[in-house]
Amino acid sequence: MKFRENKFLKSLILISAIIFAFLFVIEVFVMNFTSLHLISGKYETLELDLETAGWSNVYLDEDGLILGRGPTAIKFRGINMPVGAITIEAEMSEGCDDANLLVSFTDETVSEYRRVIRYTLKEKKKTDNIIVCNLSGNVDKLMIETTLNSDQDIKITGVTLNKPRDNTEMAVIVLMTFAAVAFVAVLVYTLAGTKASLDPFEKRRRFCTNAAVVITVCIMIFATSLSILYTTKEGVVCYDSFTSLEGNQITKEIVDAFINGQVNLLQEPSEELLAMENPYDSIARGQAGFSYLWDHCLYNGKYYSYYGIGPVLALFLPYRLVTGFYFPSVWATLLFSLIGIVCLTKLYLLIIEKWFKKLPVGITLMGLITMQMASGIFFSAARPLFYEIAISSGFACVTAGAALLLSSNIIGEGKISYWKLCLSSVFLGYAVLCRPTLAVYCIAALLFIAVGIKKAIAEKENQSKFKTILKYGAASLIPFAVLGIIQMTYNYLRFDNPLDFGIQYSLTINDFTHAEFHWKFVLLNMYGYLFNMPRITASDFPFLESSFEYFDLNGYMFVDAVSTNLISVGIIYRALPMFSYLFAGKALKQVEKKKRPVVATLIGATCVLMPLIIIFSSWESGYSVRYNADISWPLITGALLIAFTLYNNCQSESVKKILKYVFLVSTVLCIYVNAAQIYSFMGMTTYL
């Protein structure tokens, strides 16, 4: 076995060295092609004088040339030197991310302008604004043209010929590449090359559990780093945020209303808003010009919030009563996210402990990494606005409830724990108070509870069946009933209907009181969350790109942060084990025949049907990447159950070896794709 480890390590080092050498060559000889193009010695660096240039519809100030609206042109004459690259430095107004340029020139082959160079100017990455040129002999004249829209403001601050790329940046990229390759090599060796990674979970239970703890801590540090980056970017001071007297509708407005003994918010709608024929028309409100509370409910002349009161009762209200301040949404979102991350690991290990003890440690840890990286909660930690409070608190409650449900042993081996069953119902029911959409997982839990009745009766065979069922039903259903009554009472007090959560009365991007259902909205969301495939691009880090696809939608559908790269990546590409659903039928055949209907129902309902219902219900509110925390991890759980079942029942060692490397590749890609999506998400400049 030691020989096998050494052989694997040597092969891994060799492969890693080859990969690094390949990426190094790509960076130096392809991505840094501009610098190589200029080392021949015939190209001299020249900064063109903007003041002596000719221009059309351009205005000179002390810092550069301000481009006017419509067609503009900047002309340089008498250059008389070879040109291998043109660097354009520019400043752009907020919201103006790029502009299309047409660069014309005359060299020794033409006496009039040749218009062949088209380039997209980007203000944020000035190192990218190097236009590589392949011209003949000396260039005499150079002209830069563009046409600006009414919302574009651009100032050209410098034009330099033959300026090489900064070698410092190239060195940083090379070092980062080396670090990334080294990280992947260590990860691969740990998960697939060591003896411990090849042993079954039941033999290395303690080691695997400790490794899972380390992975979970790393995931928590990553989530915390995202929130800290957000606070740095937004200028949030940690101490001041905990002693704040300001807040949003979850952290402050609902809190103040409850302290004042009412369910409607303290602020009253303006007379102008109440006098409108249709106050839910967002365009009409904007044209009217008066102030109102954005994304609040307006009902019977009062403001309400349609967001769940779960986090308010659990955190924000007690904090206000004890300290006199309002708990900050940034750290509340992070707190709930971290709790959910821990509970998700606990849930995963319970699944392994109950049904996959013979699974190799390496594959077990790969599954955990995949589930955590693609869970979707990082989008809340990375942009912790008040929307994300509902997402993260619901995530924490559902994962905690699911973990307690499994640990209660109502299915699988072990004696039923009634207190864990009761706590499970408490957390799952409380998730609905955080986010009503999550009620679907309460329905799934009821299926588990129904299946567990038979086991409860069998355990208490000497006790009255009625008494057993009564005790079992009380432990599992009373929390649902109590929390359900609280939610329905709150609904009735606000909207005169115990089943009305009030979202249709919200003053937001659309008039939900008149919005009609269209199947295309559902299908677009299905595609965006499940199937949208990213594309490889060599131009910009992280070398992946995708956008939300409308498929010629002729209507209005809200898409959050629509201009952000990778805002929509299908879960099947963020977690490749999702493809195991294609083999669900084969996996089900490995289950004892009499148990197949129950297994298919529980997994199908919990891991597939309920997430799809959530996606279906989102047609009205549109697409937002943060909703992945509601749907991604249950879908991945079902996929891993299928994949692990197929692996454990595979009789061919050669096929198992192939499957191990398939898991390994998918884990590395999962880390990359999800990190790339989060990186792009964090680079967002405007929050919609």
Look up the pTM and report it: 0.84
| Residue 235, token pair as written in the block | 């200028």
* Short-list 652, 647, 681, CA closest to 664: 647
What is the rounded CA–CA span in Å between residue 558 and residue 547?
A: 14
Summarize pLDDT for 332-381 with one digit per residue, the tens.
999 999 999 999 999 999 999 999 999 999 999 999 999 999 999 999 99
Per-residue pLDDT at 38 exceeds 90 = no
What is the rounded CA–CA span in Å between residue 557 and residue 626?
A: 17
What is the rounded CA–CA span in Å between residue 30 and residue 40?
A: 16
Higher pLDDT, 179 or 107: 107
Higher pLDDT, 683 or 310: 310
Burial profile 625-650: b = 16 or more Cβ within 10 angstroms, e = fewer = bbbbbbbbbbbbbbbbbbbbbbbbee
What is the rounded CA–CA span in Å between residue 231 and residue 330?
A: 8
Strands (DSSP E) along 434-511, which ranges?
none
Higher pLDDT, 169 or 229: 229
Per-residue pLDDT at 127 exceeds 70 = no
Cβ neighbour number for residue 88 with a 10 Å cutoff:
20
What is the rounded CA–CA span in Å between residue 3 and residue 326?
A: 60
Confidence of residue 288 (pLDDT cuts 50, 70, 90): confident
Residue 21's identity, in one-letter code, is A
- Mean pLDDT of all residues in 288-296: 89
What is the rounded CA–CA span in Å between residue 244 and residue 333?
A: 16
Per-residue pLDDT at 466 exceeds 70 = yes
Per-residue pLDDT at 205 exceeds 90 = yes
What is the rounded CA–CA span in Å between residue 574 and residue 631?
A: 13
Cβ neighbour number for residue 19 with a 10 Å cutoff:
15
What is the rounded CA–CA span in Å between residue 152 and residue 553?
A: 27
How much is the pLDDT for 87?
Answer: 87
What is the rounded CA–CA span in Å between residue 145 and residue 86?
A: 14
Question: What string of DSSP letters covers 306-333?
Answer: -S-SHHIIIIIHHHHHHHSSB--HHHHH
Confidence of residue 688 (pLDDT cuts 50, 70, 90): very low
Confidence of residue 148 (pLDDT cuts 50, 70, 90): confident
How much is the pLDDT for 122?
Answer: 73
Higher pLDDT, 154 or 644: 644
CB 327 within 8 Å of CB 405: no
| C-alpha triplet 263, 269, 275: angle, nearest 5° | 130
- Mean pLDDT of all residues in 274-282: 91
Per-residue pLDDT at 325 exceeds 80 = yes
Burial profile 519-533: b = 16 or more Cβ within 10 angstroms, e = fewer = eebbebbbbbbbebe
- Mean pLDDT of all residues in 144-165: 82
| C-alpha triplet 215, 396, 228: angle, nearest 5° | 65
Summarize pLDDT for 493-532 with one digit per residue, the tens.
999 999 999 889 999 888 888 888 889 999 999 999 999 9
CB 560 within 8 Å of CB 688: yes
- Of 14-28, 30-44, 220-234, 444-458, where does mean pLDDT reach its minimum? 30-44
CB 284 within 8 Å of CB 339: no
Confidence of residue 2 (pLDDT cuts 50, 70, 90): low
DSSP state of 177: H
Sign of CA dihedral 281, 282, 283, 286: positive
DSSP state of 533: P
Backbone angles phi, psi at 65, to 5 degrees: -110, 120
What is the rounded CA–CA span in Å between residue 85 and residue 117?
A: 12
Backbone angles phi, psi at 95, to 5 degrees: 95, -15
How much is the pLDDT for 239?
Answer: 66
Per-residue pLDDT at 644 exceeds 50 = yes
Per-residue pLDDT at 635 exceeds 90 = yes
DSSP state of 262: -
How much is the pLDDT for 123?
Answer: 60
The two beta strands, 98-106 and 141-148, are antiparallel
| Residue 659, token pair as written in the block | 């499957």
Q: How many CA atoms lie within 13 A of 489 on its CB side?
A: 7
Per-residue pLDDT at 124 exceeds 60 = no
* Short-list 196, 567, 487, CA closest to 360: 196
How much is the pLDDT for 611?
Answer: 97
How much is the pLDDT for 684?
Answer: 47
How much is the pLDDT for 686?
Answer: 36
502 CB burial (10 A radius; 0-12, 13-18, 19+): buried
- Mean pLDDT of all residues in 29-34: 57
Q: What whole-number percentage of the chain has pLDDT above 90? A: 61
How much is the pLDDT for 670?
Answer: 96
CB 341 within 8 Å of CB 372: yes
How much is the pLDDT for 510?
Answer: 86
Q: What angle separates helix 628-648 from helix 386-407, to the nearest 10 degrees?
A: 30
Q: What whole-number percentage of the chain has pLDDT above 70? A: 91
| Residue 530, token pair as written in the block | 């499940």
How much is the pLDDT for 271?
Answer: 92
Confidence of residue 176 (pLDDT cuts 50, 70, 90): confident
pLDDT averaged over every residue in the chain: 88
What is the rounded CA–CA span in Å between residue 359 and residue 353?
A: 10
What is the rounded CA–CA span in Å between residue 366 and residue 197?
A: 10
- Mean pLDDT of all residues in 199-213: 94
Tokens 């780093």 found at: 225
Confidence of residue 435 (pLDDT cuts 50, 70, 90): very high
Per-residue pLDDT at 34 exceeds 60 = no
Summarize pLDDT for 555-575 with one digit per residue, the tens.
888 899 888 899 999 999 999
Backbone angles phi, psi at 153, to 5 degrees: -125, 120
Residue 410's identity, in one-letter code, is I
Confidence of residue 167 (pLDDT cuts 50, 70, 90): low
- Of 124-128, 299-303, 470-474, 546-550, where does mean pLDDT reach its minimum? 124-128
Confidence of residue 86 (pLDDT cuts 50, 70, 90): confident
Question: What string of DSSP letters covers 133-172?
Answer: ----S-B-EEEEEEEE-TT--EEEEEEEESPPPPHHHHHH
How much is the pLDDT for 668?
Answer: 93
| Residue 474, token pair as written in the block | 């009380």
How much is the pLDDT for 126?
Answer: 43
CB 426 within 8 Å of CB 480: no
Per-residue pLDDT at 256 exceeds 70 = yes
What is the rounded CA–CA span in Å between residue 230 and residue 290?
A: 31
CB 625 within 8 Å of CB 560: yes
70 Ramachandran zone, left/alpha/beta (phi>0; psi -120 to 50): left
What is the rounded CA–CA span in Å between residue 159 and residue 129?
A: 10
For residues 669, 673, 676 and 680, what is the CA-based torsion angle, rounded to 10 degrees? 180
How much is the pLDDT for 515?
Answer: 85
What is the rounded CA–CA span in Å between residue 506 and residue 311?
A: 20
- Mean pLDDT of all residues in 79-90: 88
How much is the pLDDT for 357?
Answer: 95
CB 130 within 8 Å of CB 98: no
How much is the pLDDT for 539?
Answer: 65
